[in-house]
Amino acid sequence: MSRAHFASIAGPDRLRLISAGQITGFVLVVLLALLEIHRMQHLSLRAASDAEHDSVAIAYLHAWLKTEPDNADLRLLLVRKLLHSGNTAAATQALAPLIGKAPFIRQPEVRRLWQDLLWRHLWSLAPASPDFAAAAASYRHLLAALPAQKLSSGERWQDAHQAEALRDPALALSIMQAGPEREPAVLLYDIHLSQTLGQRRRSAADWFVLQDQSRSIAQARQAYRHGLDDLQACGETTDVAGYAYRHLHRLQKDPQSLVRLAELAQATGDLDLAVQVIAAALRQKLLPATPRP
């Protein structure tokens, strides 16, 4: 009996093992396929983001979204394209599935797109119509529900101006004051809103902050005088002049500021403080000028 025949009946065929080279080749083929898929998706997204071909991109995104209805990034891209083309109705419809997922208000991009759609819809209505009034009330409710302290300064600025445009300066002020920013532009807008609401003592407080931020005595003096004017217009008398006196700060030796403070103290009935401040102003005027170095 031949050796080959003996081997064939002696036992089962030996299993052939895959070589290391074959395994490496297989892995490389899979990686190349995955890279090609990623490249095609990237190219597709770039094509869909091309602002010069909105209609083609929108049609393409609609078709793609049918195969991946849960792809939030794809849906947001479609909404932005629809907004860019001016089709707010279709954009609203496309965004609706994401709005239904709570809590969408904490998702910045979804929330901003939704606000943009609501704002556009609002101003597409006749301002004197009941529909406009209902939409405005709904939008104010949305602004009030936003976590203003977690918004960026730009978002707070935009939301506050929208609230003021809807004739709700109180809401605008609450949105602005939810943030930590106290730069001059923010303070001046807060002052404007406080004065609109008749909250002159609040606006005076902001003037005094601006006084401390001023780079020169002249700027500080001007801000302080505005603060005194607001205090005098607030209609209060209790501790009004004393409050202003405690905010003199670096103007304690400025005769012009002291004289204006004395006038406020006299107008609000704080005669003792008026006499004290006038005496301080006279001392500053009588003292010899400090020689400049």
DSSP 150-173: GS-HHHHHHHHHHHHHTT-HHHHH
What is the CA 118 to chain-centroid distance, rounded?
17
**Cβ neighbours for 149, distance < 8 A, ≥ 6 positions apart:** 178, 179
Task: Tell me how long the chain is.
Answer: 293
The C-alpha atoms of residue 254 and residue 285 are separated, in whole angstroms, by 9
Mean pLDDT computed over every residue of the chain: 82
Enumerate residues 6+ apart whose C-beta is below 8 A from 55. 85
Alpha-helix residue ranges (DSSP H) falling in the chain: 3-10, 20-48, 54-67, 72-84, 88-99, 108-122, 130-145, 153-165, 169-177, 184-196, 200-213, 217-233, 240-245, 255-267, 271-286
Pairwise CA distance, residues 263 & 271, whole Å: 10
Taking the alpha carbons of 19, 25, 29, 35 in that order, is the dihedral positive or negative? positive
Mean pLDDT of 160-178: 95
- Residue-wise pLDDT for 174-208, tens only, equals 999 988 888 999 999 999 999 999 999 999 999 99
Confidence of residue 22 (pLDDT cuts 50, 70, 90): low
pLDDT at 10 over 80: no
User: pTM of this prediction?
Assistant: 0.73
Neighbours of 109 (CB within 10 A): 13
Note the pLDDT tens digit of each residue in 100-137. 765 666 678 888 899 999 999 999 999 999 999 999 99
DSSP conformation letters of 69-119:
TT-HHHHHHHHHHHHHTT-HHHHHHHHHHHHTSS-GGG-HHHHHHHHHHHH
C-beta atoms surrounding 114 within 10 Å: 21
| Higher pLDDT among residues 54 and 216, named by residue | 216
| 195 within 8 A of 207, measured Cβ to Cβ | no
Q: Is the dihedral of CA 153, 158, 161, 163 positive or negative?
A: negative
pLDDT above 60 for 271? yes
Longest dimension (CA), the chain: 136
Torsion of CA 102, 145, 78, 155, to 10 degrees: -140
- What pLDDT does residue 28 have? 59
pLDDT value at residue 26:
57
